[in-house]
Chains A and B, each alone.
Chain A
Amino acid sequence: MLLDFSQLGSWRWVLCTLASIAMVFLLAPLLLLVALSFDASQWLQFPPPGWTLQWYQEVFADPDWLSSFLTSVELGAAVTLASVLLGLLGGFALARGSFPGRELLRGFFLTPMIMPSIVLGIALYAAFLRLHLAGSFLGFVLAHLVLALPFSITAITSALEQTDKSLEDAAMLCGASLWEARIRVILPAIRHGIFTAAVFSFLTSWDEVVVAIFMASPTLQTLPLRMLGELRQNLSPDIAVVSTLLVLGTVILMGIAALFNKDSKR
């Protein structure tokens, strides 16, 4: 009765109304971003007095936006690589090892996930000041790696747990060493898990801003940091352009993910 849309009766209208309000609430800010990026008025008038591509030209011509974009990409790539490698090691230990305290170790590996970013940010800032890593690319990678690693370990461990361990044993019976078996037989079998780990690691670094505040230097600025700086100074239409491009990127990623899902279901 309550789970069948056609049998909801008068409740259907209540539910539809509430859901529509929530949908408007969720969609309106995203649509506003797109509208503002083409808004001819400098002062963010809505509705706009006219439409322009001027802000897009400005953003693409500005070397600072490009360099912070590239920094974010480089950082994300480095974090992803390290996160997948360490994730594989951690995953094999958690999924294949048997040693006392394994569940405790699993819990410890996942703790950074629930750590408030601000606490991690200032803790690492203090530590890196002492180690002369503050404001360095390496420090930035290490900090984001702490945040990305739990996602990578979770994805890879669950992929390994779903893979039959006897595949490994069979490869070893055929003469492979343990790690040869793992690399040549198991890695291809868990490639979906590795892909998930890589995507989540990259996105964690790509979107992260709180820890980044404490890792940055004037010459080392990621895209979110550059946006934060602009937001604190002035609400320039540049941000609307960058935001719109990011929303567009999200839509494209979701499209790819949907195709991917369809393929794997077939």
Chain B
Amino acid sequence: MTLAGVVQPAPASLPRWRSRGFAPALPVLAFLLLCFALPVIVLLLRSVLEPHFGLQNYTALLATSTYANVLENTFLIAGLVTVITTLAGLPLAWFVAVAPGWLGRLTFGVVILSMWTNLLARTYAWMVLLQDNGPINNFLIWTGLIQTPRPLYGSMAGVVIGMVYIMLPFMVISLRGPLAALDPAMFQAASLCGASRLQAFTRVFLPLLLPGLAAGALIIFVMSLGYYITPSLLGGAQDMMLAELIAQQVQTLLNWGLAGAAAFVLLVLTLALYTVQARYLAPHGRNRG
């Protein structure tokens, strides 16, 4: 029971043109305008103002083959990471959802543990695992699958493996809600209608999970586009991604114009994809998980 009816007359019928309660937002708004919006806008402006007014930084970004390669790498790596994470995340999330009590909880606990472990600690583990004489190469040679070590550390394969490791928990978490929302009666109905497991999987299970899969994949793709630490530690110079390019332009070349242009590209992609996600893939708004 609430006290609302007793304390004040219901204001619903009266249109309220007067603003109430905006004042507390002011300090927060001021802080975010000064320490967030303004610096970002200034950075983006520098992309068309430095070294002189014009679009020269954007043409350089798209026309120079080194920079075009970086853009290509960024999309390729983010795409590969998204596909592999989605394919690996679905069975894992499914297992977490259906495995009996403690087994499901334990599996989910491991997922959360890996997600909450410091990013650098996880990347360090992969730096060791992927070495030429590291455990993975040794294991593959021992099984006889390869004769000489594969260069994993400092290659695109290394970057993709390390990033899949970081993104996998996000996929499991985004599929938790959609999996819990599946109605067992649907599958009883499918079974009564004579559907085999494969038919139930492809015609009921997957279509119902598709929005969740798409939402998770999109978030992982967007996060991967802007990733910096893992690709810079696990990849070689030829696997540079957009975020590394931005850091390099600022730290070693002091080319703020080009850094601003690259930042603008990254920002537009990120905001556009998040808008798609918010508009089409998240019917429950913030209640994602």
Binding site for B on A (CB under 8 A): 1-5, 8-9, 11, 15-16, 18-19, 22-23, 25-30, 32-33, 36, 44, 46, 86, 89-90, 92-94, 96-100, 105, 108-109, 111-112, 114-127, 142-143, 145-146, 149, 153-154, 164-167, 169-170, 173, 207, 209-210, 213-214, 224, 227-228, 231-232, 235, 239-240, 242-243, 246-247, 250-251, 253-254
Q: Within the assembled complex, what's the spacing in Å between the Cα atoms of A90 and B22?
A: 9
The answer to whether B91 touches A19 (Cβ under 8 A) is yes
The answer to whether A30 touches B113 (Cβ under 8 A) is yes
Name the residue in B29, B118, B168, B286 with the highest tally of chain A Cβ atoms < 10 Å from its Cβ: B118
Q: Could you give 18 example pairs across A and B, Cβ below 8 Å?
A: A3-B182, A15-B95, A25-B168, A26-B110, A27-B110, A27-B114, A90-B25, A100-B19, A117-B226, A118-B226, A118-B263, A122-B263, A126-B42, A169-B7, A170-B7, A213-B247, A231-B127, A243-B118
The answer to whether B243 touches A86 (Cβ under 8 A) is no
Interface string of B20-56 (1 = CB under 8 A from A): 1111110111011001111110110010000000000
| Cβ 8 A contact of A1, one of B96, B200, B246, B266 | B200
Q: Within the assembled complex, what's the spacing in Å between the Cα atoms of A108 and B36?
A: 10
The answer to whether A169 touches B8 (Cβ under 8 A) is yes
| Cβ 8 A contact of B250, one of A26, A125, A210 | A125
Number of A-B contacts (CB under 8 A): 274
Chain A residues contacting B98 (CB-CB under 8 Å) are: 3-5, 8, 15
Interface string of B114-140 (1 = CB under 8 A from A): 101111111111111101001100100
Chain A residues contacting B23 (CB-CB under 8 Å) are: 93
The answer to whether A97 touches B25 (Cβ under 8 A) is yes
For the complex, is B16 an interface residue (Cβ under 8 Å from A)? yes
Closest A residue by C-beta to B246 = A118
Interface string of B182-201 (1 = CB under 8 A from A): 10100110110000010011
Closest B residue by C-beta to A32 = B125
Given contacts A89-B27, A114-B222, A122-B250, 14 further A-B contacts (CB under 8 A): A2-B187, A2-B204, A32-B125, A44-B128, A98-B20, A112-B32, A123-B43, A142-B35, A145-B31, A207-B119, A210-B243, A240-B124, A247-B117, A250-B118
Whole-angstrom distance between the Cβ of A18 and the nearest chain B Cβ: 4
Name the residue in B22, B168, B266 with the highest tally of chain A Cβ atoms < 10 Å from its Cβ: B22
The answer to whether B35 touches A145 (Cβ under 8 A) is yes
With A2-B197, A2-B200, A146-B36 already in contact, the answer to whether A15 and B117 are too (CB < 8 A) is no
